[in-house]
Amino acid sequence: MSATLAKGINSFKDVIDAPIASFFSSCVHCGLCAEACLFYTETGDAKYTPIHKLEPLRRVWQQEYTLLGKLGKALGLSKPITDEELAEWEPLVYDSCTMCGRCAMVCPVGNDLTYMIRKMREGMSASGHAPADLVGATTRAVNLGSPMGIKWPAVLAQIKHVQDETGIEVPVEKSGVDYLVLMSSMEIINFPEYLSALSRIFKQAGVSWTLAQDAFEATNSGIQIGASDLAREIVSRIVIAAERLKVKCVISPECGHAFTALRWEGPNLMGKAYTFDVKHILEVLDELRSAGKLKTNGKDKRPLTYHDPCQIARRGGVIEQPRHILGDIAADFREMPDAGKMNWCCGGGGGVSANSRAEPLRLEVFKHKKGQIEATGVKTLVTACANCRIVMEESLEHYHMKVEVIGLTELLAEYLVEDKAL
Amino acid sequence: MNHLDLLTFARGTALNWALVIFVLGITLRLFEIFGLGRKADLAKPRSNSCGNGWRTMFTRSLPPEGMLKREPVTYIAGYIFHVGLLAVIFLFAPHIEFFRSFFGFGWASLPSALVDALVVASILALGVLLAHRLNNPVKRMLSGFGDYLAWAATLLPLLTGYMAYHHLMFEYTLMLALHIFSVELLLVLLPFTKLFHTFSVFISRWYNGDIFGRKGVAS
Ligand code: SF4
Ligand code: SF4
């Protein structure tokens, strides 16, 4: 699909709905959203004010959907949107927004700025103003099945490795089971611990599950870049596999944006409600725990804290579950300030970590998380998103901090009571 | 035209026209918003209740965790101004008399001395907010002609009302006429400037609460 300015503007017009019109109508230019955004608080640069990132979209709304704006346009008084302007806005819309949703919790008139950024990216990508790295990742996801270009043989190699290590069979293409398990690219490449932890936990809990050969990857870069057609293509693979295997529930991995893509955007992209549930792995683990199917033994003595991935907590509603689990297995659990629904982003969500141009800025805004971690005094940081994890590992290294980052599922597996007779 | 004629005009023809523009303007703006529609959300919500939106409509009036400390000026001056303005409009005895003549019923008023103090506080708060808007790099960047116009249009009724009440500057009848004109200016501008948030804030907050509520988060 060739991208042009006209397509971009049409797409801006398409995405503007009643909520967006009410948001732009309500904005009082108070600037409070800036105070919520780590890109502003850590740099002090006013251009990172969330509502400012939406300026081209606002003008399209004003010129197309308000009487005064239409009048101004007819009289030639309004400033048209140009390619140069969109090029200038590209780093604001992509590099300096992780779609963390913090600003949307703070705006006094209730503007969901994150909802608007997500929509604005549709027009940005349609007009050819999406970052090259994200375009590449999305093309790979559509053509190869994974944004990082991972193919099934790589997963198979990991399965074999996990089976050798745990002695537990990893089910593949099993029909009629309860759960279809997905992974993120990061987990397949960097964190094989996840699959191994899951095999052990599910075996103990007596859960029936499977992997699918054509739908193993949950990451959806189509959403991050703002190309709904591609995002739909990526989600549809999972939907088709879940329906073919007749599973009751699809488990979204330790990845924040994958959860948003699959859980909240997926049905809307497909144009129909799912016939199965979608749960984040932490929800499933907490359910098993409440049902008494998950027994742990002992507690981790290390002081540790939990980083809420934005899309899991604030934009996903999974806040209590990790705390229940940590309550069972951590002896010295310390909360960071603003933990839970007001957490601060790691700096790498919403496609920022996949965008190499944004790296210096991402490292700079990590200063907030850095300060928070230091305030707790821990050397162990637990999280539930492989992307947060890799971003934080890199950033911690950049700042020469000796803090270990671990996934919660994997930590839980360490304290699992395993009945070898099963 | 003597002062009394001017006052009669302000209270009669001018007020009628201002109200017509106000009501039509608000209606138009509401149509502009709701006319755009909203696609049904097909994702299974964690909580599907319009109560999420209603709750946020109220809860968003309070500063979220940590924000009061980050931006005390905006919050404190903002509260003083909004509370003062609303109290003055709706709880000042002469205003209630006006509403009574208009709607046929009235309600209890605040003592005039208190209203007087609230007016002064609101005017001071507006002054602080303007200074902050000019000084704070974020606010300055976001502000344009419309913001300063809205600021002035809000200040004028407070100022003229205060001067009329205290018989300052002009003769009382003239000052009262000017006060009423300033209110009419505010009514005419309201639908077409950011002052429209007076109405749209309930819509945007509702959507915010609904979007977050579906995901299981109280916003
Ligand atoms: S916080 Fe809300 S009202 Fe204030 S400038 Fe940002 S978007 Fe506008
Ligand atoms: S969603 Fe997060 S990163 Fe994006 S503008 Fe809002 S606060 Fe900043």
- pLDDT tens digits, residue range A237-251? 999 999 999 999 999
Question: How many distinct structural domains can be found in chain B?
Answer: 1
When pLDDT is cut at 50, 70 and 90, the band that residue B145 belongs to is very high
Rounded Cα gap, residues A237 and A261, in angstroms: 13
CATH number of the domain that A139 lies in? Answer: 1.20.1050
Which of helix, strand or coil describes residue B110?
strand
**Interchain pair B217, A264: CB under 8 A:** no
B38 domain residue, yes or no? no
Q: Read off the tokens for B114.
A: 């208190």
Q: Confirm or reject: Cβ of A107 under 6 Å from ligand 2.
A: no
Tell me which chain A residue has its CA closest to the CA of residue B54. A110
Q: What is the pLDDT of residue A236?
A: 94
Task: Please determine, for residue B197, whether its predicted confidence score (pLDDT) is greater than 80.
Answer: yes
Which protein residues are within 6 Å of ligand 1, measured from CB?
A 27-33, 51, 107-109, 111, 113; B 142
**Interchain pair A30, B139: CB under 8 A:** yes
**Interchain pair B42, A263: CB under 8 A:** no
B37 domain residue, yes or no? no
Last residue of a domain, one of A234, A258, A289: A289
B36 domain residue, yes or no? no
**Residues of chain B neighbouring A263 (CB-CB closer than 8 A):** 43
The verdict on A233 and A158 lying in the same domain is yes
Query: What range does the domain containing A227 cover?
Result: 134-289
- Out of A20, A22, A23, A32, give the residue to mutate to test ligand 1, the one with the largest number of ligand atoms within 8 Å of its CB: A32
The verdict on A229 and A337 lying in the same domain is no
The verdict on A275 and A354 lying in the same domain is no
Sign of CA dihedral B198, B200, B204, B209: positive
B143 domain residue, yes or no? yes
B62 domain residue, yes or no? yes
Task: Output the CA–CA distances (angstroms, integers) from residue A401 to A56, A194, A379, A381, in the order listed.
Answer: 40, 24, 9, 12
Q: How many CA atoms lie within 13 A of B39 on its CB side?
A: 13
Ligand nearest to the CA of residue A37, numbered in listed order = 2
**Interchain pair A23, B215: CB under 8 A:** no
The atom number, within ligand 1, closest to the CA of A34 reads: 6
Rounded Cα gap, residues A30 and A12, in angstroms: 25
The verdict on A23 and A121 lying in the same domain is yes
Q: What is the pLDDT of residue A97?
A: 97
Residues 6+ apart with CB under 8 A from A60: A9, A12, A13, A16, A81, A123
| Of residues A212, A90, A188, A226, the one with CA closest to residue A387 | A188
Sign of CA dihedral A369, A373, A374, A379: negative
Distance of CA A129 from the midpoint of ligand 2 (Å): 19
Question: How many distinct structural domains can be found in chain A?
Answer: 3
Tell me which chain B residue has its CA closest to the CA of residue A343. B65
Last residue of a domain, one of A129, A149, A184: A129
B26 domain residue, yes or no? no
**Residues of chain A neighbouring B215 (CB-CB closer than 8 A):** 264, 315-317
How far from the centroid of its chain's Cα atoms is residue A45's Cα? 25
Among the partner residues A21, A27, A319, nearest to B32 by beta-carbon distance: A21
| A·B CB contacts under 8 A | 166
Query: What range does the domain containing B150 cover?
Result: 3-21+48-215
B10 domain residue, yes or no? yes
**Residues of chain A neighbouring B203 (CB-CB closer than 8 A):** 18, 22, 25-26
Among the partner residues B46, B65, B200, nearest to A26 by beta-carbon distance: B200
The verdict on A264 and A350 lying in the same domain is no
**Interchain pair B78, A30: CB under 8 A:** yes
CB count in 10 Å sphere of residue B155: 18
Per residue in B13-47, pLDDT (tens digit) is 999 999 999 999 999 999 999 999 999 999 999 98
Q: How far apart are the first and last CA of chain B?
A: 55
The verdict on A176 and A282 lying in the same domain is yes
Ligand nearest to the CA of residue A39, numbered in listed order = 2
Task: Output the CA–CA distances (angstroms, integers) from residue B181 to A350, B12, B25, B91, B126, in the order listed.
Answer: 50, 11, 18, 20, 20
CATH number of the domain that A368 lies in? Answer: 3.40.50
Q: Are B88 and B47 in contact (CB under 8 A)?
A: no
Average pLDDT for A19-23: 98
CATH number of the domain that B124 lies in? Answer: 1.20.950
The verdict on A115 and A160 lying in the same domain is no
Q: Are A310 and A98 in contact (CB under 8 A)?
A: yes
Task: List the A404-407 sheet strands across, edge first.
Answer: A330-334, A300-307, A380-383, A404-407
Residues 6+ apart with CB under 8 A from A14: A122
ipTM, 2 decimals? 0.96
**Residues of chain A neighbouring B35 (CB-CB closer than 8 A):** 18
Q: Confirm or reject: Cβ of A50 under 6 Å from ligand 2.
A: yes
**Residues of chain A neighbouring B139 (CB-CB closer than 8 A):** 29-31
Torsion angle of C-alpha atoms A15, A20, A25, A29, degrees rounded to 10: -110
Of the two residues A116 and A233, the one the predictor is more confident about is: A116
% of chain B residues with pLDDT over 90: 95
Q: Confirm or reject: Cβ of A99 under 6 Å from ligand 2.
A: yes
**Interchain pair B44, A47: CB under 8 A:** no
CB count in 10 Å sphere of residue A309: 31
Per residue in A157-200, pLDDT (tens digit) is 999 999 999 999 999 999 999 999 999 877 887 788 899 999 99
Distance of CA A56 from the midpoint of ligand 2 (Å): 17
- pTM across the whole model: 0.95
Of the two residues A354 and B139, the one the predictor is more confident about is: B139
- A105 interface with B at CB cutoff 8 Å: yes
CATH number of the domain that A108 lies in? Answer: 1.10.1060
The verdict on A164 and A245 lying in the same domain is yes
CB count in 10 Å sphere of residue A79: 10
- Out of A38, A40, A92, A102, give the residue to mutate to test ligand 2, the one with the largest number of ligand atoms within 8 Å of its CB: A102
Ligand nearest to the CA of residue A48, numbered in listed order = 2
The verdict on A206 and A242 lying in the same domain is yes
Rounded Cα gap, residues B183 and B191, in angstroms: 14
The verdict on A69 and A146 lying in the same domain is no
Rounded Cα gap, residues A371 and A167, in angstroms: 42
Q: Which residue has the tokens 């009629």?
A: A176
The verdict on A266 and A150 lying in the same domain is yes
Per residue in A325-349, pLDDT (tens digit) is 999 999 999 999 999 999 999 999 9
The verdict on A278 and A345 lying in the same domain is no
